[in-house]
Structure 1
Amino acid sequence: MSRSVSPHSPTSLPQPHPKRWWALGVLGLAQLMILLDSTIVNVALPSLQSELHMSDGDRPWVVTACTVAFGGLLLLAGRLADHLGRKRVFTAGLLGFAVASAAAGAAPTAQALFAARAVQGAFAALLAASALALVATTFTDPRERRRAIAVFGALGGAGASLGVVLGGALTQ
């Protein structure tokens, strides 16, 4: 004899949120923004060097400051997202990344640029870790989750590709 499950019974699975694909778009755009920024900076390094009167030895620190902060804080950022709330950490990461990006763009000296890039890397870690966690927890169906992670990754790859084009256009 088959037993029907009432939609209100505790054994029924929760229905996925109807706006989860819109959320994926926002999360994917955040990932795109992180990779876009990294690529644009790499392309713009020669222009930054001459504009801020950096030595050849200082030039790698523009990239390294962000990369070290990002890589060093990524695991901690994931832990913070788990404990403080993924949406809250995502929002903080997004706002902090935007402010740090503006500070880096307006940096009057190489040292100010290095500091802004380090802060940008820290907030990028918050943003990336919470965005991926939100994708994984928003899409509970394994088939949808695979598709969502593929879209998320593709948007990140698009950011890296688009960054080369935009970086070249900005430095012209």
Structure 2
Amino acid sequence: MRDSHSSLPVTAAFLAGWREEVSAALAAVVAGFEEKYGYGPGENAIHPPEAADRIAAAGLAAECPGFADLGAYYGEIGAVHMGDVGNGYFLHPASHAVDERTALPEAGGTVPAVLIGSDGGGILYAVAADGAVWRSRTSSEEGGFDRIADGLAEFLDLLLRSVHRFDASGQPGLV
């Protein structure tokens, strides 16, 4: 497992390594899952982006400098389904996320944040115009948000660590 990546840029090489590590960790989670939990695992996969996702990714990257890492991410990765890790983690493909916005007054920006996903309990994850990642306090945008990562690389590292933690202990993740 890597060290924290809060200051690393999100590049194709970084994302390839992240995808490989998460895929291996998810494979470990589903191995023996039914024996451990009494039911079969759901979908736990990282999908490649579709053509519409790549177009949306380019649009996000051009929208504001803080979305550059988000654009790079969506140029390499489509939907992410980690339904059996804790409550589950689900990252939307770019073609979906580009239209899902929230004002996010806590971030202080004028550009609406992009809602990139949620957990299985409805907690939302958003990337603000400065590139920071925020998590909703409740399963609603109206409950407010807390900053959980300085950038997308740090957030992706938290997701990776969450998969490892769940595999090792059955405990929910860190995000």
TM-score higher than 0.5: no
Q: Greater share of strand residues, 1 or 2?
A: 2
**Superposition TM-score, scaled by structure 1 size:** 0.32
**Superposition TM-score, scaled by structure 2 size:** 0.32
The structure with the larger Rg is 1
| Larger RCO (CA within 8 A; separation ≥ 6) | 1
